[in-house]
Structure 1
Amino acid sequence: MRAAAPDTFLDAASLEVTNQIVQYGWETGQSKPKTSSSEGIVPLDPDTVLVLAQHLARQDEAKARLGEDWQDHDLVFTCPDGSPLHPADVSDEFTYLVRAAGLPPITLHGLRHGAATLMLAAGVDMKVIQHILRHSSIKVTMDLYTNVAQEVAADAAQRLASAIPRQAAVHRARALGLPSLARDHNGQCSARRTSSEQNKTPGHQHRRPGARKWAARDSNPEPAG
């Protein structure tokens, strides 16, 4: 990763991807990312900005200590003498750190999928995830993470259902004299009437004082009296 102006991108809490290390057999070289969409600005969280600032400070100390022996390749991550890191060495070191931390096996590339999954679970918009992963189109992102998106949607539906005050709704129904559903001893749902309903005689209608009766059979009812 090249950083022509590290202070600038750290102040902006972002990182610009401009090149990559590629292997030719065992030999390595630098080239542009494989697609134009792979280039771009990647946002950084405050903790990552702090870690990178500390890393660059140590790198500056190494440059000052080695002087002319420092191999300046204008890279953020290097060997102790400034020379480019070999991809195989990076992968081996990452595997060692994963095992030392007692984590399940995962590859460096797997971190991208892990990050996307965590962002979806956190409710990040799919378009934003496409931009962070630098996919060429949102269709690529959707195709890769459709299953995860469905799981997130199902979880959201469950959270919504849990947030609805169902017991309060039942109490309001009872206050209005509406039937509520209850289960009998066989587990079947049946309408349960409130105590006020049970006290009513068949055909008897309670009316507030001064209320007017309406004819029940006429399609255009008129007051009956």
Structure 2
Amino acid sequence: MNERRAKGPRRRANGEGSIYQRSSDGLWVGSAYVYTTIGTTKRRPVYGRSFDEVRQKLDKLKGDAANGVVIPDRAITVGDYIGQWLTRVKETKRLTTWRGYESAARLHIIPLLGAKKLDKLTGADVRQFIAATRKKCLCCMNGYDRHRPVDEQCCSAGRCCGKHPSMRQIQFIHAVLRNALSNAMRDELVMRNVAKLVQIPTPRYKVGKGLQVPEVKKLLTESKSTRLHALYVVAATLGLRRGELLGLRWSDIDFDAATLQIRQTVQRVDGRLLIGETKSEASDALIPLPKVTKEALLAHRDRQDVERAEAGEIWQPHDLVFTTTVGTPLEPRAVNRQFDGIRTRAGLPNVRLHDFRHTVVSLLLSLGTPPHVVQAIARHADLDVTMGIYAHTNLDAMREALDKIEWDL
């Protein structure tokens, strides 16, 4: 009789692991707790035909764990892993960026792929997922008409509003899944990123609509009667994004040096107004302050001083340039509503506040400003963005360029 078997398994110290022989088939089994790639501990078994074989395997398992070699958790599902990945992403990404990732995962990825084993996910699964997502009814998915009686809701009795995710939305959802699986590869949970096997057509972006100078003047004339006239002047002359306008502080402006620093933004996320970082490192830049913009801001500061005095103790000192009448951050949607009235009175119902940004870039390019200078003013991280999305060439400019070609016919 085997000596080890006769004496029975030796009792091992706490944390050292355990070894025993199964009575059903005589196979020796050992197990120990080790760290997995998802940051948890898990009991990991090893098998062998003798006590010594299992002990060697168990010692190696524990030795690897002591040296920082983590064990892949093969039982994790796509939904569980994406939830853990989102927790990590939240620590490194802007909250608005994380909110987009979380929304794509919650509304699209997890409902269709969440139950699948992460290491069993295939390219065919991703293709089926993309095909199903394209056919989704956005009205039903977001519950837009859940307040209506069941028989009047979209897709009831076979009726559908026909609103489906756009190609841009499909691309974004696929990108979130692809990023999550790339992270799973780094965690050594999967051997390859199957989402990369599925090609998504690149959507055609609508080129931003630039305004003509007379149109800008109309809008600024109409805005003079509002308390936020300076906001529209800054938008029209510097091309700041809405969140950057609302996050601008007086301490970011140097009137003596005529410069302005973009350091933060104000955005609504999860029902709350949040003051956060700028869109990218390139967005956080120092730009010159034009004379007309400086004058508008100085006049706005005088107006705000009056409002502060009238508010008294209820004034909240956030140092923001554009605030409510009690000093609190402005609601982005409230700014949009005010601008709606301005554009309507100006006879420009289809203009957006963001079109000021497109206008500044296009106007500078049309005046012959070097592209790299325009890129610095617009604070784009990539020159291709400046030239590819915001550069507008009208028919007259094209005709003038072509007329320079002279042929001796």
Mark yes or no: TM-score above 0.5.
yes
1:83 equivalenced with 2:331 (yes/no): no
Work out whether 1:57 is the aligned partner of 2:335: no
Q: 5+ unaligned residues in a row in structure 2: which ranges?
A: 1-246
Query: Post-superposition shift, 1:90?
Result: 0.6
Q: Which amino acid aligns with 1:34?
A: K
Pair 1:3-2:249 in alignment? yes
Matches within 5 A, 1:29-108: 29-108=274-353
Distance apart, 1:42 and its partner CA: 2.7
Match of 2:358 among 94, 99, 113: 113
| Matching residue's letter, 1:63 | R
> How far is 1:155 from its partner?
3.2
Q: Contact 1:120–1:149 (CA<8 Å) still a contact in 2?
A: no
Distance in 2, Cα, partners of 1:92 & 1:35 = 27
SS in 1 for 2:266: strand
**2 CA distance for matches of 1:149 and 1:40?**
30
Alpha-carbon distance in structure 2 between the residues aligned to 1:43 and 1:26: 34
2:376 is equivalent to residue 131 of structure 1: yes
The SS at the match of 2:267 is strand
- Evaluate the alpha carbon distance shift between residue 104 and residue 44 of structure 1 in structure 2; reply closer, same or farther with a 3 A threshold: farther
Looking at structure 2, the residues matched to 109 and 144 of structure 1 have their Cα atoms a distance apart, in angstroms, of 13
Return structure 1 stretches of 4+ with deviation > 4 angstroms: 149-154
Q: Which amino acid aligns with 2:340?
A: T
The structural deviation recorded for 1:95 is 1.4
One-letter identity of the residue aligned with 1:123: G
Q: Which amino acid aligns with 1:3?
A: R
- Alpha-carbon deviation of 1:140? 2.0
Deviation at 1:154, TM superposition (A): 5.6
Distance 1:81 1:131 in 2: 34
Task: State the partner residue of 1:143.
Answer: 388
**How many angstroms apart in 1 are the aligned matches of 2:344 and 2:392?**
28
- Structure 1: 5+ residue runs without aligned partners? 163-180, 182-188, 190-225
TM-score w.r.t. length of structure 2:
0.36
How many residues align structurally? 162
Per the normalisation by structure 1, the TM-score is: 0.63
CA distance in 2, matches of 1:105, 1:44: 29
CA contact (8 A) 1:20 1:31 kept: yes
Question: By how many angstroms is 1:4 displaced?
Answer: 4.5
Coordinate RMSD, CA, aligned? 2.7
Asked if the contact 1:120–1:152 (Cα under 8 Å) also holds between the matched residues in 2, the reply is no
Mapped to 2, the partners of 1:66 and 1:135 lie a distance apart of: 39
The CA distance in 2 between the partners of 1:34 and 1:128, in whole Å, is: 19
Q: Deviations over 1:155-174 (max 9, x none)?
A: 3564x679xxxxxxxxxxxx
Structure 1 residue aligned with 2:273: 28
Report sequence identity in percent.
32
